[in-house]
Structure formats: structure tokens, C-alpha cells
């Protein structure tokens, strides 16, 4: 068509940029959670802090431990006060995701749309 303006569809570029940035944000959030949880873990022998692991895959991630007494440390028992270490890590990851990650996602979308 003569005189018709061709508009380039950038939605695929934006989607790819957002997926890359979201994956990076999840990796960073998991790293933040892992670090805080390891630092906050009560230390007697160091076994609990050293047992904390993390995994990421695409836009999912987790921080975990397989130490059998971790749940008792986190939530306490009838005779032992709670000493949370995983929740502070989760809280730090949420703060990261609600501030820095949002800013980075917005920037990536804007750059990809240009």
C-alpha cells in the first residue's frame, strides 16, 4: 500500500527481554534469601547455616535445608523459643522483588520496546 506506514511488532522482543530480566531477578532474589537465611541461622555447630541451599530454574527458585531440626529452630517448640532464619530471608527477597526487580523489569521493557 502506497503511503502506508509499516509498524514493526516489538512484542516478541519485549517478551524475551522481560523473561531474561525476570529470570535474573529470581536468581538475585534467591541469592538474597540464601544469604540472609544463612546469616540468621542460629549457630551451635554451624551445621544448620551450612546446610542451607538454593536452586533456580528460569523464573522459579527456592531456598531450603534438609536438616531435621530446622523447623523447630524456625517456629519453636513448647520448650524452645522460635529462632527464625528462613523467614527473614524470604522477607528480604520480597523487598528486593518489590523494589529493585520492578525497576529493572520496567527498564528492560522500555529498552526492548524502542
Cβ contact 36:92 at 8 Å:
yes
Q: What is the pLDDT of residue 105?
A: 77
pLDDT score recorded for residue 9: 60
Structural domain harbouring 16: 11-113
Q: Profile the chain (114 residues) by mean pLDDT over runs of 10 residues.
A: 53 78 90 97 95 94 97 97 98 89 77 72
Q: Does residue 91 lie in a domain region?
A: yes
The pLDDT value given to residue 109: 73
Report yes or no on 2 lying in a domain: no
Whether residue 3 is contained in a domain is answered as: no
Please state the domain count of the chain. Answer: 1
Sequential DSSP letters for the chain: -TTPPPPP--HHHHHHHHHHHHHHHHHHHHHHHHHHHHHHS--SSSHHHHH-EEEEETTEEEEE---TTHHHHHH--SSS----SHHHHHHHHHHHHHTHHHHHHHHHHHHHH-
30 domain-assigned: yes
Tally of CB atoms within 10 A around 49: 18
Amino acid at each position: 500500500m502506497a503511503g502506508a506506514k509499516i509498524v514493526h511488532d516489538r512484542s516478541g522482543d519485549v517478551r524475551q527481554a522481560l523473561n531474561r530480566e525476570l529470570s535474573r531477578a529470581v536468581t538475585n532474589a534467591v541469592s538474597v534469601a540464601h544469604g540472609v537465611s544463612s546469616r540468621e541461622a542460629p549457630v551451635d555447630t554451624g551445621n544448620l547455616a551450612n546446610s542451607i541451599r538454593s536452586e533456580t530454574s528460569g523464573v522459579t527458585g527456592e531456598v531450603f535445608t534438609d536438616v531435621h531440626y530446622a523447623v523447630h529452630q524456625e517456629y519453636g517448640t513448647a520448650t524452645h523459643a522460635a529462632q527464625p532464619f528462613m523467614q527473614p530471608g524470604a522477607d528480604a527477597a520480597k523487598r528486593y522483588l518489590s523494589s529493585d526487580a520492578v525497576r529493572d523489569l520496567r527498564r528492560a521493557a522500555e529498552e526492548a520496546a524502542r
